Chain A
Amino acid sequence: MKITIEDLSKEYKNGKLALTDINLEIENGMFGLLGPNGAGKSTLMRILVTIMKPTTGSVNVNGFDLAKNRGDIRKMLGYLPQDFRFFTKLRTWEFLDYAASLSGLKNKKTRLHKVDEWLEKVGLFDVRERHANKLSGGMKRRLGIAQALIGDPKIIVVDEPTTGLDPEERIRFRNILSELSQKDVIILLSTHIVGDISSVCSDLALLDRGTLQFNGSPEKLVEKVRGHVWQVNTSGVEYDLLKEKYAVISTIPSEDGWEVQLVGEEIEAKNAIEIEPNLEHAYVYFMEYLTEHNKF
């Protein structure tokens, strides 16, 4: 499976540029789309799931042109949108059955079996008779995941899937995706939570204000910020100055004041210690520090 995105741009009717010249190659496995709110992640995903038309550029999915062969591409898709809350008056199992049926499962017996299997998998079997709009926020997301995955799609697009999930559910969700990513599928996951990606994505892209900032493995991204992450023990006026100048990642109270982790090009603070960067540091470095300081 392979998705090739070339020179993709999207301009909304109001003139807002949502995406500018995006070029990406996405292959089997889990692909993370990182970026702050409004970066164009959802737009890109909606284009990929054929809900929205790009203004220019092309997308090729496993040899199929997105503009011409929507039917063939839709057959491969499983999609969970960001705002998956409102339901018509259907029961939990019915909603899954509806999705399964639309994904081509004609045989009623097989379909119902599959529905039960997925209800079990996402832990909704006990509430299968409950109306979907009566489910809790977490349950709704799980139902969303189940409906996206029930037709055994080859391309799974999940937009901010962990929003509103408690830690336990997030872990369960990650596991499901990890399991799936071992198969011949592409999982495209957009998030602004670095933790969702760090452990599972083999590849990622960083989007900001519609442009692609980075495309590669998480390790490569981390490597890019080596030498730009520090830890400083500080207090009083200095702390305020640091906050203004650098992107602060964490602040922990210490005996003398605060122990602050921050990113920046170079450090001007006394007793600043360079520390080992992680994905979160990288994300903050790219998204907050560089953006705010117009250094892109």
Chain B
Amino acid sequence: MIKFHIIRTIARYEMRTLLRSWFFRIFAGLAVVGLGIFNVAVFVPASGAPWLYRALPASIPYANLIILNLGQAIVAVFLASEFLKQDRKNDTIEVIYARSMTNAEYILGKALGILSVFFILNLIILMMGIGFSFISSDSTQGIWEFFFYPLLISLPTLVFILGLSFFLMILLKNQAITFILLLGYIALTIFYLNTKYYHLFDYIAYKIPMMNSTIGGFGNFNEVLIHRGIYFFFGLGLIFFTVFKLQRLPQSRKMASFPIYLTIISLCLAGFFAEKYISLKKGNINFKKQMIELNNDYVNTPKVKVSSCNIELEHLGKEIAVHAEMEICNETNSSIDTLIFSLNPSLKITSAESNGEKLQYQRKLHLLMINYPGGLLPGDSTKLSLNYHGTINESTHFLDQNLDEYEDNFSLEMFRIRKRYAYLQDKFVCLTSESLWYPTSGVGYATTKPTQHFPDFTNFTLKVKTDTNLVAVSQGSLNKIGEGEFEFKPKVVLPKISLLIADYNKYSITVDSIEYSIYAKNGNQYFLDHFTDFTDSLPNLIRDLKNEYETKIGLEYPFERFILAEIPLHFALDKHIWSVSSDAVQPEIMFYPEKGVFLEETDFKKRKKRSERRMIRDNEEVSPEELQARIFKRFIRGNYMANHEEWYMFNVIDRNTYTLLPNYYTFITQFNSEKWPVLNMALEAYLKDRNESSASSYRWFFTGISRGERINLELKEAPLNRLLETGIEKSGDDDKVKLYNIIIAKGEYLFSVFRARYGDDEFNKFLNQFIEKHKNKVFSFEEFEKNFKDRFNEDILNEVDNWYSKKELPGFLIKDLQTYKVMEEEFTKYQVRFKISNPEAVDGLITINIDLADPSNRRRRGDNENPDFTRKIHIPAKTAKEIGFVFTTEPARMNIYTHISKNLPNNLIYDFTSFDEIKKVAVFDEIKSSELFTDLLNENEIVVDNESENFEFNQDLQKSYLKSLIGENKDQGYKYSGIRYWSPPAEWKPVLRSGFYGKYVRSAVYTKTGHGERTAIWKAPLDHDGQYDVYCHIEKINIRRRRTTKKSNYNFKVYHDDGMEEITMSDEELENGWNYLGTFFISPSTAKVELTNKSIGKMVFADAIKWVENK
């Protein structure tokens, strides 16, 4: 029998020993001091730490434990291997070994001692967190979160790493090798393995989602427990193995093999948990795939329309019981025998009736198939009532994602958060239409019709019965029937409704007969303290903001309510491929993450302090009322009305996540095209940003490959319909382009071309009127097309079809750019003019942005990032235009954004260093047709660009074996990358830049300089020999390093009939653009120029060579 007294004794003295070891003391000291500083830093609003740290009680303990765990995982390796090493070295150990105790008692005692020491450290770190949390007035106070984290994070990690260290020490008998192996293993898991296989290898739990919500608790406690169980039992197994292999004779022969049985049992348990974990994760995906398969089978089956749906829902803790009365009608041309509905697979149907008659039904996963005797004839309608109850299976959500790559958790700062899609808990309920908590007609996402998402516009009513302390939130006017009983009646038909039930407090105000409310969870209404002074001016403020937004989008808010309702931060904000916004945007209701943790400007305290500091700096006097109004406006604008310039701290959200637009379009009408279902989202995307300038804030300085360029690259490969079928295959990239991005870009493009073609006002007015006319109902493509033709007298059918199914893109060539001064009525003005041609078969669109010279040479951030001058110009297929603008102030830069086109980069940048002297010509301030040009070269010119087949380079790869192994998987991204200024590659790599030469693709290849081991070769396809001027195209890109700039020179070898001439061009000699290298007699066989990577600079670029024949 195990004697606990012995284990305790050994543990006690192991603890004493460790606590006295300087190694541990220094680690503990550093941990306490370091984390103490970190805690102070995140708790002081002035530190700039995200609001997330202070807002939630789980943040600090979670952050502390995650950081500590990284350290202790390493230190524990040392301490664990140390004791076995010491044991072997010390003869004193023999006096211990000769004592009457079992090997298990000894090893368990040792392990317990080490664990206890770390437990003390964890406790100190936790107490620190608790202290800060309780001192802070911002944090919602919590208790139990504090104790879960050490148990979930530290304990399994330590048991595992102790076990592994013991095991390796016993096996290898060498502390140094054990230490190196384990450090390698730790590094491997932290930097590589932890993201693989659903974070299975993440023994430190760095990426295991454990963030706790004040509303919904842990994201998925079971999953975490199972994952941590793997490492706990694996560690325990290795500890038992150590007992078995300990270099001490066992206490009795009978029990000698007992530890090996325990090892096997523990390892089996670990294996069982690992299998369970993987099957749980894979199970979700497989279940989703099965649902999609089923949807594919039934997507073409005719479905009924649900015209009204009266739902009576009882919230019974973790279940709901629902009675739904529906009115359905058959709007198709054929009789419908089987009524197909989607309903959450975990909801069990108890009865289905129609006009008092029981109906036979069948369930297949999420589908409910009801046999309607005799069939529902075209044009007929009937009543249908369903009773069902049960829980909610969250797998019904986001079937439209790339399931093999889909991540069910995300990071915020150092926190990992499990995505949640629906909640059905005792104290909290969150159900959206994606949860299928009420029956919807037909199937959901099907790969055969990916963007077909046309929910019925239904007349909903909802009665909710829940706990008397809870408050329900849904669409429509609210009638409180009794304690815990609510009735919601939307005034108009809606495509979907949602339901929230929580311990909410409601704060509301009515402005111009719209009720604006905030539903905040009790205890989370921190914002109240920050907006005490502007109550009187709030109505005006809201009115102004509403007007501001509606002026921008050109539409009017159609509902009588606007609700902000608080939900856990776990709520998934992924985007569907049928809507611009996330699921947080519901009709009349916007969900917001608890305490606004990842919204913009929700740290009102910090914002106030910053504003006050700025006011002092600028000598500005602002009343508290005005200041609060400013903060409020900033919050609303940043989150709900964000323009292109808005910058988000977390990449979980973007300016579309919380866009209000669906309330102005998607929830009131529907572009229901059978052939091109994607048009609904395309129009939504256009409406959202039709009055935005389309260039991003990076437009001048961006050097990598932008999202827009990636979209162009994808669309060059395949048309939209193909991409929708196959998905985007490129991977291994952080800023991955998703179908969602492509649909938005294509949507904006299609309608922007229309607008540019028919005129801003004319086209937008047409759209607004059309939407108004189809309010609260769907419209077909045919209706749209007819109206379009009536207004613009043009048939768009072919154009839309090409847009959808052809991969042709417009392409733009620019030439004859001139900048000079002109006189107009005694004033000197600045003329910019150029010719632009679109020789391709598809209409194109460009946006020209011009920045005027800023005398202060400083661009302000935040206030006004829009360019000084912007113009969108339609360039029809196979046409060219000459464009001229005249300015009173000298323009500094011009940027031509080419939208969806063959052009790469899609931002062509022109820096105007100086304007030519006054030309005595008339000002040219117009856009007029010009002669089409398809090339930029003159007759006697031959250019070989790096994209040409006559260009080649030798790589002379100097990659290490390891690098090449790691690099193997990385090369699945796009061809072009950004320029790595600080560490140029040791091979030729293609990069894009506006200054490079190229017809549509302005690219070059670049490499790190060296001794000439890498060369680039241009061979000219000359027809005949002759005297040629040779030019190289150079874009000077230099880097400053330690205040000195090492400017690259270029070593060319020009081959000609008399041999070869080496030409070195220094940076001073070179200019941006074409540079003359010399004139040579060259015949077709000798026409070659070489560039080596020998240079005094850091990198060289190989772009283009031009041969110009001297006639």
Task: State the A residues within 8 Å of B (CB).
Answer: 46, 49-53, 67-72, 74-75, 77, 79-90, 94, 98-99, 101-104, 106, 144, 147-148
Cβ A51 vs Cβ B98 within 8 A: yes
B249 near A70: Cβ-Cβ < 8 Å: yes
- Taking the closest CB of chain A, its distance from the CB of B621, in whole angstroms, is 65
Q: Judging by beta carbons under 8 Å apart, are B99 and A68 in contact?
A: no
- Chain B min CB distance to A223 (Å): 36
Chain A residues, Cβ within 8 Å of B102: 71
A79 proximity list for chain B (CB < 8 A):
94-95, 98
Distance of A71 Cα from B1 Cα, bound (Å): 11
**A82 lies within 8 A of B91 (CB):** yes
Check if A90 sits within 8 Å of B13, measured CB to CB.
yes
**Residues B16 and A87 in contact, CB atoms below 8 Å apart:** no
Q: Mark B211-250, 1 if CB is under 8 A from A, else 0.
A: 0000000000000000000000000000000000000111
Is the CB–CB distance between B98 and A104 below 8 Å? no
CB-nearest residue of chain B relative to A72?
B100
B99 to A87, Cβ gap below 8 A?
no
Contacts of B187 in A (CB 8 A): none
**Among B10, B13, B98, B253, which residue has the most Cβ atoms of chain A within 10 A?**
B98
The residues of B that contact A148 with a CB separation of less than 8 Å are 95
Q: What 1/0 mask marks residues of chain B from 242 to 266 whose CB sits below 8 Å from any chain A CB?
A: 0000001111110000000000000
Identify A81's interface contact among B89, B94, B100, B251, CB under 8 A.
B94
Contact B17 A70 (CB under 8 A): no
With most chain B CB atoms within 10 A of its CB, the pick from A52, A70, A77 is: A70
> Does the CB pair B90–A87 fall under 8 Å?
yes
By the criterion CB–CB under 8 Å, are B17 and A80 in contact? Answer: no
Q: How far, in whole Å, are A69 and B95 apart by their CA atoms in the complex? A: 18
- Complex interface: chain B residues within 8 A of A147 (CB): 95
| CB <8 Å contact, A74 and B92 | no
A70: chain B residues at CB < 8 Å are 249-252
B252 touches A89 (CB 8 A): no
Evaluate contact between A51 and B253: CB separation under 8 angstroms: no
10 residue pairs bridging A and B, Cβ less than 8 Å apart:
A74-B99, A77-B99, A82-B91, A86-B90, A86-B91, A88-B17, A90-B13, A102-B6, A104-B100, A106-B5
Tell me, in angstroms, the Cα distance from A20 to B438 when the chains sit together: 88
Residue on A with the closest CB to B18? A89
Q: Are B91 and A84 in contact (CB under 8 A)?
A: yes
Query: Which 4 residue pairs of A and B lie closest in terms of their CB atoms, listed nearest first?
Result: A74-B100, A89-B20, A79-B98, A101-B9
Decide if A98 touches B251 in the complex (CB within 8 Å): no
The answer to whether residues A50 and B21 also contact, given A71-B100, A74-B100, A102-B101 and a CB cut-off of 8 A, is no
- Do residues B17 and A144 form an inter-chain contact, with CB atoms below 8 A? no
B651 at the interface (CB under 8 A from A): no
Q: Which residues of A contact B94 (CB under 8 A)?
A: 46, 49, 51, 79, 81
A68 with B90: CB separation less than 8 A: no
Give 18 A-B pairs besides A50-B98, A103-B100 with Cβ atoms closer than 8 angstroms: A49-B94, A70-B251, A71-B251, A71-B252, A74-B98, A74-B100, A75-B100, A77-B98, A77-B99, A77-B100, A82-B91, A84-B91, A85-B91, A89-B16, A89-B17, A94-B16, A102-B10, A144-B95
By beta carbon, the residue of chain A nearest B94 is A81
Q: Which residue of B lies closest to A106 (CB)?
A: B5
Q: Which residues of B contact A82 (CB under 8 A)?
A: 91
B96 at the interface (CB under 8 A from A): yes
Smallest CB–CB gap between A249 and chain B, Å? 33
How far, in Å, is B117 (CB) from chain A's closest CB? 13
Min CB distance A250 to B, Å, is 34
Q: How far is the CA of A80 from the CA of B95 in the complex (A)?
A: 7
Residues of B within 8 A of A89 (CB): 16-17, 20-21
Which B1079-1103 residues sit within 8 Å CB-CB of chain A?
A: none
| Chain A residues whose C-beta falls within 8 Å of the C-beta of B92 in the assembled complex | 81, 84-88
Nearest CB on A from B65, distance (A): 28
- Residue ranges of B at the interface with A (Cβ–Cβ < 8 Å): 5-6, 9-10, 13, 16-17, 20-21, 86, 89-92, 94-102, 248-253
Chain A residues lying within 8 Å of B248, measured Cβ to Cβ, are 51
Chain A residue numbers with a CB within 8 Å of B250 are: 70
Determine if A102 and B16 form an interchain contact, defined as CB atoms under 8 angstroms apart. Answer: no
The residue from A50, A71, A83, A106 contacting B91, defined by CB atoms under 8 A apart? A83
Residues in A neighbouring B6, C-beta threshold 8 A: 102
Establish whether residues B91 and A81, one from each chain, have CB atoms under 8 Å apart when the complex forms: yes
Q: Quick one: given A74-B251, A83-B91, are A51 and B101 in contact (CB under 8 Å)?
A: no
Q: Are A102 and B99 in contact (CB under 8 A)?
A: yes
The residue in chain B whose Cβ has the minimal distance to the Cβ of A68 is: B253
> Which B residues are CB-close (under 8 A) to A81?
91-92, 94-95
Please indicate which of the listed interface residues B9, B96, B99, B251 has the most CB atoms of chain A within 10 Å of its own CB.
B99
Is there an interface contact between A68 and B252, defined as CB atoms closer than 8 Å?
yes
CA distance A52 to B5 in the complex (A): 26
Is the beta-carbon distance between B252 and A98 smaller than 8 angstroms?
no
- How far apart sit A70 and B101, CA to CA, in the bound complex (Å)? 9
Q: Do the beta carbons of B91 and A98 come within 8 Å of each other?
A: no
Choose one: A52, A67, A90, A99; the contact of B95 (CB below 8 Å).
A99
A227: min CB distance to chain B, Å: 43
A45 to chain B, nearest CB (A): 10
Nearest opposing residue in chain A for B19, CB measure: A89
Q: Out of B10, B21, B99, B252, which one reaches A103, CB within 8 Å? A: B99
Residues of A within 8 A of B252 (CB): 68-71
* Docked complex Cα distance between A203 and B253 (Å): 32
Nearest-CB distance from B16 to chain A (Å)? 7
Please indicate which of the listed interface residues A51, A80, A87, A103 has the most CB atoms of chain B within 10 Å of its own CB.
A51
CB distance from B173 to the nearest CB of A (A): 14
Q: Are A98 and B13 in contact (CB under 8 A)?
A: yes
CB nearest neighbor in A for B248: A51
Residue of B10, B95, B253 ringed by the most chain A CB atoms within 10 A: B95
> Which one of B5, B20, B94, B101 has the greatest number of beta carbons of chain A within 10 Å?
B94
Chain A proximity of B407: nearest CB distance (Å): 47
Cα separation A191 to B364 with both chains bound (whole Å) = 86
In the complex, A98→B102 CA distance in Å? 16
Q: How far is the CB of A93 from chain B (nearest CB, A)?
A: 12
A86 to chain B minimum Cβ distance, whole angstroms, is 4
CA distance A70 to B254 in the complex (A): 11
CA distance A85 to B92 in the complex (A): 7
The smallest C-beta distance from B246 to any residue of chain A, in angstroms, reads: 12
- Residues of chain B lying within 8 A (CB to CB) of residue A104: 5, 100
Give the chain B neighbours of A72 by CB distance below 8 A: 100
Shortest distance from the beta carbon of B59 to any chain A beta carbon, whole Å: 38
Given contacts A50-B249, A68-B252, A148-B95, contact A102 B90 (CB under 8 A): no
* CA A46 to CA B249, docked complex, whole Å: 11
Q: How far is the CB of B26 from the nearest CB of chain A, in Å?
A: 15
Chain B residues with Cβ below 8 Å from A94 are: 13, 16
Q: When chains A and B are docked, how far (Å) is the Cα of A75 from the Cα of B95?
A: 12
A102 to B105 CA separation, bound complex (whole angstroms): 11
B247: nearest chain-A partner, CB-CB: A51
Alpha-carbon distance A239/B5, docked complex (angstroms) = 65
Complexed CA–CA distance, A85 and B101 (Å): 23
List residues of chain B with CB within 8 A of the CB of A68: 252-253
A129 → chain B, closest Cβ, in Å?
13
B253 and A88 contacting across the interface, CB-CB below 8 Å: no
- Are B89 and A90 in contact, CB atoms less than 8 angstroms apart? no
Could you tell me the distance in whole angstroms from the C-beta of A97 to the nearest C-beta in chain B?
A: 8
Chain B nearest Cβ from A114, distance in angstroms:
15
Min Cβ gap B770→A in Å is 84
Residues of A with C-beta under 8 A to B9? 98, 101-102
Say how far B15's CB is from chain A's closest CB, in angstroms.
11
Docked pose: A10 CA to B199 CA in angstroms: 52
- Chain A residue with Cβ nearest B5: A106
Q: Which residue on A lies nearest to B90, using beta carbons? A: A86
The listed residue with most B CB atoms (<10 A of its CB), out of A49, A50, A84, A87, is A50
The answer to whether A86 touches B13 (Cβ under 8 A) is no
Question: Nearest Cβ distance between residue B18 and chain A, in whole angstroms?
Answer: 9
A88 and B90: CB pair below 8 A?
Answer: yes
Q: How far is the CA of A52 from the CA of B89 in the complex (A)?
A: 16
Contact partners of B100 in chain A: CB under 8 A: 71-72, 74-75, 77, 102-104
Q: Say how far B796's CB is from chain A's closest CB, in angstroms.
A: 85
